[in-house]
Amino acid sequence: MIDHVSVPVRNLAAAAAFYQRLLEPLGYTRLVTRPGTIGFGKKYPELWLNLRTDLAVAPTDPGGHVALRAASEETVRAFHAAALAGGGTSAGEPGPRQAAMTTYFGAFILDPDGNKLEAVSFPGPAA
């Protein structure tokens, strides 16, 4: 089981504003603020932003992504819309997808630093 994930950002204040808006539909809030790092989560920090001022912008397809569980298709759509409104880029419009074991509803975004994230909703209650 994965406990938390960290993503690098060039501007911590700008990234914090972007992620606060992006993660709100998923029920995440800003829980920890320290010099050089900010943690978001539901009960404890699950997603960390780490300041890296010398970070180069990631390529269009960074080769990996972080998938975050969403409660519903509407939540996935809200995540995607918040990313676009906050300066992110769509890397996959909200819609049905086929996973290895089941189908799901998801959307992909790239944050302003090029980090790729996905919101996913599976049939039935979200965990």
pLDDT, residue 7, reads 95
Which option is the CATH number for 5-53+64-121: 3.40.50.1220, 3.40.630.10, 3.30.70.3190, 3.10.180.10? Answer: 3.10.180.10
DSSP string, 59-87: PSS-S--EEEE-SSHHHHHHHHHHHHHTT
Asked if residue 127 has pLDDT above 70, the reply is no
Asked if residue 123 has pLDDT above 80, the reply is no
Please report, for the chain, the start and end positions of each structural domain, with discontinuous segments joined by +: 5-53+64-121
Closest by CA to 82, choosing from 40, 35, 20, is: 20
